[in-house]
Amino acid sequence: MKILSQNTAFGGMQGVFSHESDVCKTEMAFAVFVPPQAISEPRPVLWYLSGLTCTHANVMDKGEYRRLAAELGLIIVCPDTSPRGNDVPDELTNWKMGKGAGMYLNATEMPWSEHFQMYSYITEELPALIASQFRADMTRQGIFGHSMGGHGALTIALKNPERFKSCSAFAPIVSPLKADWTQDAFEKYLGPDRANWRPYDACALIEDGARFPEFLIDQGKADSFLETGLQPWLLEEAVKGTDIGLTLRQHERYDHSYYFISSFMDDHLRWHADRL
């Protein structure tokens, strides 16, 4: 693991690191905030998954999480959104595909399958590295994210309920099978058979029997992607008749930006801390 930067913040440490990923077959960067309590004892881990076009840096620079994370004693891990590097395939004119748009899935179609193994990276390889390099209590993990990262958080939690004790999302893509900005990427990553898409669709996972105790979701009503891309009402429909708790809060005037995310970041951190 390489140290790219380390800075003191609120008595803790904000670091950026990189390592050679075996599953993504390229160097991957990630950010970690370690609270001051980790000096003396292992602390719970909260994973934040970013959205389309983002890197680890967007939430680190604009998410405003460090003050309260330090107070609550939470380790915050912010992975990148996709593999990168000169050998990694990309579509330079398509921001919904390739670098910055890994969709938190394991691609099965060439040329994407060689590098785009983000599901395994987030659920297996990076957690092992975090466990070995930081004073982290891996028995207490939560996960949240924004947009594409919200999709990732929901699906990863639903498929790993024994690992994660909490899950929330800001403006998540709840059904990539129906969202207008994911279908092209899913077909290229996973092929045309939509049955292969269902393991990466929160609503489909719930329909197919996956369960998680409860979700917190915040959604801005002024979000330009709301009607055709995010569609949180589909998740409301999916959880009906199940024992999954859903707190869906919709906010007037808020859009899809980090102004929205930072406005409700404290609520999400406290939500996770209460459950971790």
**Residue 143: what are its φ and ψ, rounded to 5°?**
-145, 140
Residues contacting 151, CB < 8 A, separation 6+: 103, 104, 145, 169, 172, 173, 174, 176, 182, 200, 202
Judged on CB neighbours under 10 Å (0-12, 13-18, 19+), 259 is exposed
Active-site residue, selected from the candidate residues 201, 223, 268, 272:
223
- DSSP-based helix, strand, coil % in the chain, nearest 5: 35, 25, 35
Residues contacting 261, CB < 8 A, separation 6+: 59, 62, 63, 146, 170
Determine whether 147 is an active site residue.
Answer: yes
Determine whether 137 is an active site residue.
Answer: no
Determine whether 267 is an active site residue.
Answer: no
Active-site residue, selected from the candidate residues 56, 115, 146, 256:
256
Assigned token pair, 44: 């719970």
| Separation between Cα atoms, residue 220 and residue 262, nearest integer Å | 12
Active-site residue, selected from the candidate residues 50, 82, 147, 168:
147
Residues that are catalytic: 147, 223, 256
